[in-house]
Amino acid sequence: MKRGVFLSVVIALLAGCKETPPPAPDGYYVIDDITVTYDNPADNAPENSDPEKNVKAAIRDTMVSLKDTTFFWFEPGRVTVDNSGNRFDSDIHGDTFDLNNIQTTWTSPDSGQTVYLTTEKEGACGFFNCTLKMTLSRADHTSEKLAGMKAVSDVRAASYEAYLETQRQFYKENGFPPVPGDTIRMTENISVTLPEKMAIDLKKQEGGDYVRDIGGLHIESDDDNTEIYRFRDPLSDAEGIIHLVKVPKYRWRFDEWLNQQKGIIYQEENGAIYYNRWGKPECTYFRYDQKERRYVIIVAETADQMMMQQMYSIARSAGKNPPPEAKSNK
């Protein structure tokens, strides 16, 4: 009996000795300092610091200038980064989160008053590998620096929202008329209608050089359960990609993914037109064929609004059970 009591006490003491994780940052933070360190020591030397003569020095200056335009809002499990009204969110997993798709580690030695951020090297400086380090300090409502940046952010965000509203009105008034063209049989049960000028250039993606994360799916062209086809308009910048992906229906989480994009212009149950996280206009439409257990997901990009209307109409043509006369892509 005494032995059992003793063990219980020891276990309780050991449990109490476990190191508790540090509290996550909470509230608004401004940037006090930013350093950029390239892999090659020569790129960090003073003689290579002229931004007019060295592209890496120019990138460093751009990164450092973010401290005058960017602030952070931390809340439980999530962080929002605002750069002059350009906002993006990321979930916090332990001591990491994505800073504009760059994995970032945070630490705080003083219970969240100061936060140190360190990015992974790959992609942090565009085509060049570098380590980006930031020092953040908590800011309250009396912070003049935070108030100034929030004022700029609010004005630009309001202007951007007004710009999006004009585009929403365009699609509301004009809709998406069907686009005449050739009905292409993609699989036994799935077809897509393409204008003849685009159907001619429809090409299958060969090789393993296409990777995309969308709607909770990680898509790779060299996956045996995936087929990728590309089409484009020869007279504009419009490009489209048809993804045929065999996955269980529940894997697709479109609404959750869409809410991470920059601005939604048009949305319906199976698709949307929006500005993606990089600020580019894009549309996505999808259907699921229960018999084949396959999604057809069409993504298109174009900067022209009239062309976007046409591309989304093409995407919406994705359907099941094509007629016998439908052409085959095989």
pLDDT digits 0-9 by tens, 101-150: 789 999 999 988 999 999 998 878 877 889 999 999 999 888 999 999 99
Backbone region of residue 279 per phi and psi (left: phi > 0; alpha: psi in -120 to 50; beta: other values): left
Lowest mean pLDDT among 18-27, 74-83, 184-193: 18-27
The pLDDT value given to residue 49: 83
DSSP 257: H
**Do the Cβ atoms of 92 and 104 come closer than 8 Å?**
no
The pLDDT value given to residue 320: 59
Confidence check: pLDDT of 95 > 50 = yes
**Residues 241-257: tens digit of each pLDDT:** 999 999 999 999 999 88
**Do the Cβ atoms of 72 and 106 come closer than 8 Å?**
no
Q: How far apart are CA 276 and CA 220, in angstroms?
A: 20
What value does the mean pLDDT take over residues 224-242? 94
What confidence category does residue 5 fall into, taking pLDDT thresholds of 50, 70 and 90? very low
Single-letter residue type at 142: T
**Residues 9-29: tens digit of each pLDDT:** 444 444 454 455 566 789 999
Residue 300, strand partner residues: 240, 283
Mean pLDDT taken over the chain: 87
The pLDDT value given to residue 133: 96
**Do the Cβ atoms of 99 and 74 come closer than 8 Å?**
no
Confidence check: pLDDT of 8 > 60 = no
Residue labelled with tokens 């699989």:
187
Residue labelled with tokens 């962080």:
79
What confidence category does residue 193 fall into, taking pLDDT thresholds of 50, 70 and 90? very high
DSSP 14-44: HHHTSPPPPPPP-EEEEEEEEEEEESSGGGG
> Do the bridges between strand 27-38 and strand 281-289 make them parallel or antiparallel, or are there none, so unpaired?
unpaired
The pLDDT value given to residue 326: 53
pTM for the model: 0.69
Of 72, 150, 147, the closest CA to residue 114 belongs to 72
What are the structural domains of the chain? 27-144 (2.40.128), 172-328 (no CATH)
Q: How far apart are CA 132 and CA 118, in angstroms?
A: 6
Burial class (CB in 10 A: 0-12, 13-18, 19+), 245: buried
